[in-house]
């Protein structure tokens, strides 16, 4: 399903989008608060996007390419994953190119994702950030997410354990 906002078009991701996503996910600053380091091998990006397309085809998740309106400039991606229909809940996430930071695109895109989740009948969304990712935490707060927990040593990255924070939103 295509989601449109005032400035953005969120369209289902396609396998060829790996070419647009790779430069974003190979940026160390963009990936500083992710579970893994920046992607240095384009083949990893291609396989990741191919797996996302398979998940969508199986009905297990929704992944969107975020584009700037009519220009179709690729800004990043959003996701609705881990969909649990029994409990009507899912996880949300997003990644944007550094050039798109601070311009309100993330908030605008995620508002569309949250609205879509509600239209599907989901009742709860959750998100996870790495401790210290203040940008993402502020964005989640603006969407109405509330801090729900602190996950000590939740992720191992570069030989160290990283703490994460959990946020939830009831729809």
Which residues lie closer than 8 Å to 70 by C-beta, 6 or more apart? none
Q: Which residues of the chain have pLDDT under 50?
A: none
State the pLDDT at residue 70.
Answer: 76
From the list 30, 28, 72, 24, the residue with the least C-alpha distance to 45 is 24
Contact 87, 126 (CB under 8 A): no
State the pLDDT at residue 83.
Answer: 96
Radius of gyration of the chain (CA): 15
* pLDDT tens digits along 5-38: 999 999 999 999 999 999 999 999 999 999 988 9
State the pLDDT at residue 45.
Answer: 95
**Torsion from C-alpha of 133, 145, 21, 74, nearest 10 degrees:** -120
CATH number of 3-123: 3.40.630.30
State the pLDDT at residue 163.
Answer: 97
State the pLDDT at residue 69.
Answer: 84
Structural domain boundaries in the chain: 3-123
Q: Is the pTM of this model over 0.85?
A: yes
State the pLDDT at residue 158.
Answer: 87
């Amino acid at each position: 399903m295509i989601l449109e906002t005032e400035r953005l078009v969120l369209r289902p991701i396609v396998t060829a989008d790996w070419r647009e996503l790779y430069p974003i996910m190979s940026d160390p600053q963009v990936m500083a608060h992710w579970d893994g380091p920046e992607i240095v091998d384009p083949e990893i990006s291609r396989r990741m996007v191919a797996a996302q397309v398979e998940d969508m085809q199986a009905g297990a998740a929704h992944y969107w390419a975020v584009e700037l309106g009519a220009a179709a400039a690729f800004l990043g991606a959003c996701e609705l994953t881990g969909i649990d229909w029994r409990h009507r809940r899912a996880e949300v996430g997003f990644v944007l190119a550094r050039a798109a930071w601070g311009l309100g695109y993330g908030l605008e895109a995620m508002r569309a994702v949250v609205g879509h989740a509600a239209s599907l009948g989901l009742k709860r969304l959750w998100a996870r950030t790495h401790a210290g990712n203040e940008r993402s935490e502020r964005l989640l707060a603006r969407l109405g997410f509330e801090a729900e927990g602190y996950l000590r040593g939740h992720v191992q990255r570069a030989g160290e354990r990283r703490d994460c924070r959990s946020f939830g939103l009831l729809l």
